[in-house]
Structure formats: C-alpha cells, structure tokens
Chains A and B, each alone.
Chain A
Amino acid sequence: MSGSGEDIVQFSNVGLRYGTGKEVLSDVSFTLYPGSFYFLTGASGAGKTSLLKLLYLAQRPSRGMISMFGTDIITLPRDRLPGLRRRLGVVFQDFRLIPHLSAFDNIALPLRVAGVTEQDLQKPVADMLEWVGLAGRSDARPATLSGGEQQRVAIARAVIGRPDMLVADEPTGNVDPEMALKLLRLFEALNRLGTTVVVATHDLHLLKKVPDSLIMRLDKGRLSDPTGALRYPPRRQAALS
C-alpha cells in the first residue's frame, strides 16, 4: 500500500507509439497524488485510452519513465506486474464483464484471483452489490442487466479489492445523465475512502459535478495542465502527500 508521502504515479517525458506509427502520446509528464480525483479529458483520438492503458499497466511506453507506487515500471520484470495490478481498479469503457458469470461472480473475481476463500468473499461481495444498488441481482448474467447495471457491476468489480488507484475509461459514456451522476457519486464515495480516482471523459458537464477534482487535458497526444494542479497540487492533495 502506498504510504504517506508516496506518489501514486509519476510520468516523466513519456512517449507511446504503436508499431512504427507516429507517437500517440508525446512528452507526457505528471504526478498523481494519493486521495486525489482526476478527470482526464480531450477530444476523441487525443490519446486518453492510450494514457489509461499505461496507467493500468496494459502497455509499456515507447520512451520516458513511469513510476507507480514507488516502483519503476519500465524495468520491472513482467512477473512482478500482477502484484501492482492488484493495487489498481479498472473500469473499462465496454465494461468487459465475463458473460457466463453472474454479477456476484464477476464482482468476486478479483478476490478469487487474490486467493480469497469462498467463505471469506461472500460478505464483501454481498456488501458491494448492495453498495452499487444491485443486491437483488446477484445471480443475473450480464446479458440480462441494463447498461447502467452492467456499469455498476464493472465498478463494483474494480473497487472490491479496495484499490489504491481507480482508473475508469468513459464510465458514463453508455448511460443516461441521471445514471452518470449516480456513478460519479460512487467514485466520489470511493475517493473519500482514500482511493485516487482517474476518470477519462469527454463529457465536460461531469467536471463541474466534482468541485475538488483536478483536470488533465490531452490534445493530440500532449498533456496540458489547465488548472496548474498537476504541477502545483492544491493544499488538500499536498497535505495528503
């Protein structure tokens, strides 16, 4: 777990290209602090998903340096990545729920991966189902759930392991405004528990809903810092760090 004073994530001059194509991310540098709430914005194709892939360790950069929980990701052996991934929660844009598993089993998956016994995981998963308002749908398969319900199962799966950092890719993209607000409140609740939250969105209305949030704006693969918060974190984050 990240201790006091430890940066959650540090990017330094990071560049990413796929194959021999041009860079989709160029000279990206920023620091994420514990307990902060970040919005990652930018137009379609700006590189938000690519940056998130770097954040949830689905990709290594082509250049630059990334440190996560005090560990250098660039030189970290592949077999040590699972340990770091267990400190992350990821909400995918397309949910990526496992279709043949029930809502309960989808949410329980991170605990089962971590080796939690069936007896020990019953209560946390039941609590999580209740937290996302799906207590009565534990046996439902994803195909029988609405888009909003699937999204809440995906969020519950991402947070059940109490991650140090939650990364969400367009989590409100497939739901109506009312549901989007509910989901945002879930993220805020998690953030209040101490989890650093990074939400990628192109919905600018969402940004106003979380007053203390910090904004990272990507434009054609380059990161801008419109509020200066990435370079000079506000007092709350500085105090936390």
Chain B
Amino acid sequence: MKSPPVIARAIARGFSGLSGERGSQLLPQARLAGPMPWVIAIMIALTSIAAAGGLALNNLAQAARAELSGGVTVQIVEADPVERARQATAAATALAGKPGVSAIRVIPDAELDRLIEPWLGDAASGDAAIPVPALIDLHLSGTITPQRLGELRNALASAAPSARIDAQADWLGPVFAAISSLQWLALALIALLALASIAAVWLAARSALGSNHETIEVVHHLGGTDAQIARIFQRSVARDALLGGCAGLAIGLIAVFLLAQRFAALGSGMIDGGGLDVMDWAILALVPVAGIVLAALTARFTVLAALRRML
C-alpha cells in the first residue's frame, strides 16, 4: 500500500514533524507553568548580581594595578625635621638621574599634614607635631622587580641613609588577594546557581514527562522520534526560561544599579575604579541568554535520557 502523497512529500523533505506551535500544543503540561519561571527569574537575578560583583571587582583590581603600576614610595624615616628635609632633597636628586625613573615628586609637608589630619587632628602639624616620614612619590618605567628596588636602595644608601623604599603594589598585595578571593567567590556562586537551575529544570522536566507519559507513548507509537518529543519539551522550557530570564535580569540590573549608586556615594578613590563599562553590561545581558540555553539543554538531555528507557 502506498503512502498518501502528503506523507511522501513530508518524507522527501526530511522528517521535521511536531515543530512550532503545533508541537507545543501537544504537551501543554510540559510548559513549566507555576513557580518555575519565577525560580528561573530568582536564579538569573542572583547570577546577574554575582556576575556584576565579580566584574566590578575585576575592574577595581585592574584600575588599582594600573594606577600603582611602576609606583614606588620612598620614605625618609628621620625624627629630626631638618635632617629629614635634607635627606629627602638628597634622595630626590640622587634618584632623578637614575635610568628608568619617569617621574619623581617630593610630597610637600602641607599635603602630608592634610593626609594624616583626619586621624591625628592638630597633632599632625605645627611645632609640636608628631614626626612623620617624608615621602617621595616615584614612578618607574617598566616592571618593578626586587632587583631594581635593590639598585635604588643602593643608590640612596649614602645620600639618604634613613630612606626606605617600597613598591606601592606591595602595600596593596593583601587587598588584591582579598579582591581575588571575592572574584572566585562570585564565580563559585555563579556555578552553584547554574547547578541549582539545572536541578530545578531537571525536576520540572521529569515531572512534565510523568504527567504526559501517556501522550508521549502515543506519539512514540505513531512513529514520533525521541528528538521530536525532546524538542517539544525543550521549546516549552526555553519559553519559560525566557520569561523568567527577562524578569530576573530586570530585577538583577535594578539591584546592581542601586548598589552602584550607594558605592559611588562613598566617594572613595579606590572604589571609583570598580564601575561597570559597556562590555560588562553586555556580559550581564548575556546572563539570561546563557540561562535559557542551559535550561533548554537540561530539558533536552533529561527528556532524551528518560525516553531511552522506553522502546
């Protein structure tokens, strides 16, 4: 017996049945209605916030590194103010002629007083002031190595015996380590949220499979393939994930924006470097896209694994 022409034409085109809206109608309960879009929304919101935090910390660390790169602080630790001033001038003169020194500035006493005034008050200035080291801000071209610092120390040994030399980046080493830890924490949070999302979609897909078991059996007996059935679930899950993803991204971006406003209000120089640029916002916009892809793939593989147990 010959197939009707309509079937023959479909076979010639290659089987691509149950596509589009018709396929989705077949298993209406496969749609992860109810709380699932909201679960996905919460996951996407938290992931967006964690990703924004990680990106902001990365920017902050990069900005700080760029600012401190090549920076060296020379302290003249000398109680006698006259001798301290002399050694500061001598050190600046000695360093100015050294190769690789791109900028040198002796921090004026008034500026030093202003810097420590918030902590020491009036005791920071005047004749009875607590002695504080003289500071020389030095910038070197290229990478600062212990060897280069050693050469500078040797150069200052006779001109300014009270001088101490430190690379500015060294001071902030623990801060960078903490920032790095927070970045890893943000990554771990994103990974955990992704796992939680996979688990939620897996449970929902299995539940939808159970409630549509008879329909799936019928479609199987009619010659439906695993891929066709999986595609229906995948599409339904993707639609719910899109809904949840958009809501989650909106919630996440509002939270990030409000947090950014609060941090900006602090007016701290270091935190100012932790803003998000256009590329960061683009990455945040990709979070729901990644969520949708993850949810759809999870649904697909869950359904395919379950269908493989059927003949």
Contact = CB atoms under 8 A, between A and B. Distances in A.
Given A98-B215, A101-B26, A113 B1 contact: no
> Chain B interface secondary structure, helix, strand, loop or mixed?
helix
Given A98-B218, A109-B222, A115 B10 contact: yes
A112 B224 CA distance: 9
Contacts of B223: 82-86, 88, 110, 113-114
Nearest to A125: B6
B311 A164 contact: no
A113 B222 contact: yes
A57 interface: yes
B222 to A, nearest CB: 5
Interface string B198-230: 000000000000000011011111111110100
B4 A1 contact: no
Interface stretch (B11-19, B115-123, B137-145): B11-19
Question: Contact size class for A?
Answer: 35 or more
A112 B214 contact: no
A161 interface: yes
Nearest to A90: B221
Question: Contact size class for B?
Answer: 35 or more
B13 to A, nearest CB: 6
B311 A78 contact: yes
B81 interface: no
Given A115-B16, A193-B1, A82 B9 contact: no
A56 interface: yes
A85 to B, nearest CB: 4
A124 interface: yes
Interface string B17-30: 11100110110100
A116 B311 contact: no
B262 interface: no
B25 A124 contact: no
A195 interface: yes
Given A59-B311, A60-B311, A82-B223, A114 B7 contact: yes
A85 B7 contact: no
A15 B54 CA distance: 63
B15 A115 contact: yes
Contacts of A60: 311
Interface string A96-128: 101011000100011111111110110010000
Contacts of A178: none
Nearest to B1: A194
B26 A58 contact: no
Nearest to B13: A115
B311 A57 contact: yes
Contacts of A98: 26, 215, 218
Nearest to A95: B218
A21 B10 CA distance: 43
B11 A114 contact: yes
A1 B2 contact: yes
A101 B17 contact: no
A111 B224 contact: no
Of A79, A98, A101, A195, the most chain B CB neighbours within 10 A belong to: A98
B221 A85 contact: yes
Contacts of A163: 1
Of B2, B3, B18, the most chain A CB neighbours within 10 A belong to: B3
Contacts of A124: 4, 6
A85 B16 contact: no
A189 interface: no
Interface in A158-196: 161-164, 193-195
Contacts of B6: 111, 116, 120-121, 124
Contact of A162 (B3, B11, B219): B3
18 contacts: A1-B3, A57-B311, A79-B225, A82-B220, A82-B225, A83-B223, A85-B221, A96-B214, A98-B218, A101-B26, A109-B222, A113-B219, A114-B10, A115-B13, A116-B10, A161-B4, A164-B1, A194-B1
Q: Which 10 A-B pairs have the closest CB atoms?
A: A86-B223, A115-B17, A115-B10, A85-B223, A194-B1, A120-B6, A116-B10, A82-B223, A113-B17, A113-B224
Given A81-B311, A98-B26, A115-B10, 20 more contacts: A2-B1, A82-B220, A85-B222, A96-B217, A98-B218, A101-B25, A101-B26, A113-B17, A113-B18, A115-B17, A116-B6, A116-B7, A116-B9, A118-B22, A120-B6, A120-B10, A121-B6, A161-B3, A161-B7, A164-B1
